[in-house]
Amino acid sequence: MILGRANPVYVALDTTDVGEATALAARLHDDVGGLKVGLEFFARNGHKGVREVNKAGDLPLFLDLKFHDIPNTVAGAVRSVMPLAPALLNVHALGGRAMMRAAQASAQDEAARLGITPPRLLAVTVLTSMNDADITEAGITGPVSDQVRRLAALTAEAGLDGVVCSAQEAAVLRADLGPDFLLVTPGVRPHWAAADDQKRVTTPREALAAGASVLVIGRPITASPDPRAAARRIQDDLAEGAVV
């Protein structure tokens, strides 16, 4: 689906424990398409921890650090993580056009300097834990779907490779922005899993049908007593076309 792998699921390794993350990465190698490391893991373990996860999992890495600051600072942050060679990296679209352009230029320049493939740079639109009421409370004119559409258009204009959004918005964004724009979708829940703190959710199958490029799934897999079986169940359901 992305980066040459048939499995569109990136598993979110949300833990502070390097041993737990590396064990999950190794165990899930054959059952997911990539690994996602975010703020919880990175804040505790930094580059060293990410290198250990990369080594254990040997899968494409989504470094989900959601940079959001002035252009010069974000460009520096992007430069600083480039030695980790992420396949996917992200910033917040609310940082604006100039910040997103600075991030993209920094990623391209530093990748060239290091002799590595640059990451596909994404921008977060509206967090999948937020609904219409949440963004209204935060002073943003709703509904969420309009805000996601505005920010995705800005992201494309700024020259980034795609967005993080809910799969609830995927069909509209796919129509707006074409087949090559990456739609990376957290908030994915099989029918047998709890929604937790996610508010804009779809099933894995709904997400793919709507045009999502990557499905980010954490707790339904990692909190399962058998993470491998949970990941396989999602894959089997997707492959068979069952409604999950």
Ligand X SMILES: O=c1ccn([C@@H]2O[C@H](COP(=O)(O)O)[C@@H](O)[C@H]2O)c(=O)[nH]1
Cβ-based nearer residue to ligand X, 118 or 218: 218
| Contact string (CB under 6 A) for ligand X, positions 78-117, x = contact | ----------------------------------------
Please identify, among the stretches 76-84, 104-112, 170-178, 214-222, the one whose residues bind ligand X according to the rule CB under 6 A.
214-222
Judge residue 175's burial from the number of C-beta atoms within 10 Å of its C-beta, 0-12 exposed, 13-18 middle, 19 or more buried.
Answer: exposed
Q: Does 147 bind ligand X (CB under 6 A)?
A: no
Q: Minimum Å distance from CB 152 to ligand X?
A: 13
According to the annotation, is 109 in a ligand binding site? no
Q: Where are the alpha helices (DSSP H) in the chain?
A: 18-27, 39-57, 71-81, 97-114, 132-137, 144-157, 170-177, 204-210, 219-222, 227-240
Task: Please indicate whether residue 66 is annotated as part of the active site.
Answer: yes
Q: Does 144 bind ligand X (CB under 6 A)?
A: no
| 19 CB-near residues (< 8 Å, 6+ apart) | none
| Prior bond of 143 cis (ω within 30°) | yes
Q: Indicate the angle between helix axes 18-27 and 227-240, nearest 10 degrees.
A: 40
Q: Does 198 bind ligand X (CB under 6 A)?
A: yes
Task: Please indicate whether residue 64 is annotated as part of the active site.
Answer: yes
Catalytic residue among 17, 31, 58, 69: 69
| 150 CB-near residues (< 8 Å, 6+ apart) | none
Q: Does 219 bind ligand X (CB under 6 A)?
A: yes
| 238 CB-near residues (< 8 Å, 6+ apart) | 8, 204, 205, 208, 244
Q: Residue 242 corresponds to which tokens in the numbers above?
A: 């069952």
According to the annotation, is 70 in a ligand binding site? yes
Scanning the structure block, which residue is given the tokens 């064990």? 23
Q: How many residues bind ligand X (CB under 6 A)?
A: 16
Q: Does 38 bind ligand X (CB under 6 A)?
A: yes
Rg over CA atoms, the chain: 17
Q: Which of 53, 56, 75, 124 binds ligand X (CB under 6 A)?
A: 124
Cα 175-38-12 angle, rounded to 5 deg = 70
| Contact string (CB under 6 A) for ligand X, positions 47-76, x = contact | -----------------x------------
In the annotated binding site, the residues are 14, 36, 64-73, 128, 189, 198, 218-219
Q: Which residues bind ligand X (CB under 6 A)?
A: 12, 14, 38, 64, 124, 127-128, 164, 186-187, 196, 198, 216-219
In the annotated binding site for substrate, the residues are 14, 36, 64-73, 128, 189, 198, 218-219
Active site residues: 64, 66, 69
